[in-house]
Amino acid sequence: MQKENKIKKVTGAEAVVLSLLEEGVSKVFGYPGGAIMPVYDEFYKYRDQIKHILVRHEQGAAHAAQGEARVNNIAGVAIATSGPGATNLITGIADAQIDSTPLVCITGQVASHLLGTDAFQETDVMGISSPVVKWSFQVTRAEEIPWAIAKAFYIANSGRPGPVLIDITKDAQFAELDFNYKKCEFVRSYNPKVEINLDQVKEAAQAINGAKKPMMIVGHGVLLGDAQKEV
């Protein structure tokens, strides 16, 4: 049975940090800005439990989070503000998709009532990122934050690993919610299982068994699939 935590009243910004802690995150990479500043205030409060590494450019945050993911076989976390901060993540996100690297990117966004008004540093990061993420979600209500982050980690890590993006409006970061975290174990209509071509497996096995000096060249997918012993 899934264990649920005790309910307590927190802001959306604090819920972001608490949700990351629930997922076992101890390190995040990012660059602050106005639209994500409430979350940064909470990072300072929880600095003894989660380490924030300041980068010089948001693209660096995405690539550093990739490195964290690939070295430690976990989902890396990158943080950025709205507008240029969010768009600067895209190259790293696209690279994570191509390399099957689990990545959770969290971006700040203008207040929900300003969406679609060409407000200062408002960009459609959902539309921009959609071709290069497994899943994205725009949070406009604080109570959506724990659910969205739990789903993000599940999707990033399952099946063929890859990047996800959560865009959080500033008013959702300030609003309060009853925080109760539950890890995601299933997403309806999402099938993370990778189809296996058994004919290709048999063909490879026959080639290996018939070789006098067999040599296998394998990629990072062996580590991602935890298949070291099988290889």
Query: Are 33 and 4 spatial neighbours (Cβ–Cβ below 8 Å)?
Result: no
Whole-angstrom distance between the N-terminal and C-terminal Cα of the chain?
33
Is the C-alpha dihedral spanning 21, 16, 30, 101 positive or negative?
positive
Looking at residue 4, its pLDDT comes to 55
Looking at residue 35, its pLDDT comes to 97
Set out the domains of the chain in order of their start, with CATH numbers: 8-179 (3.40.50.970)
Could you give the count of Cα atoms lying within 13 Å of 35 in the half-sphere of its Cβ?
25
Rounded mean pLDDT for each run of 10 residues along the chain, 231 residues in total = 68 98 98 97 97 98 97 96 97 96 97 88 93 97 98 94 97 97 86 82 90 84 78 74
The CA-based dihedral angle spanning residues 185, 132, 58, 222, taken in that order and rounded to the nearest 10 degrees: 60
pTM above 0.85, yes or no: yes
Looking at residue 5, its pLDDT comes to 57
Q: Which of 26, 81, 74, 25 is nearest to 58 (CA)?
A: 81
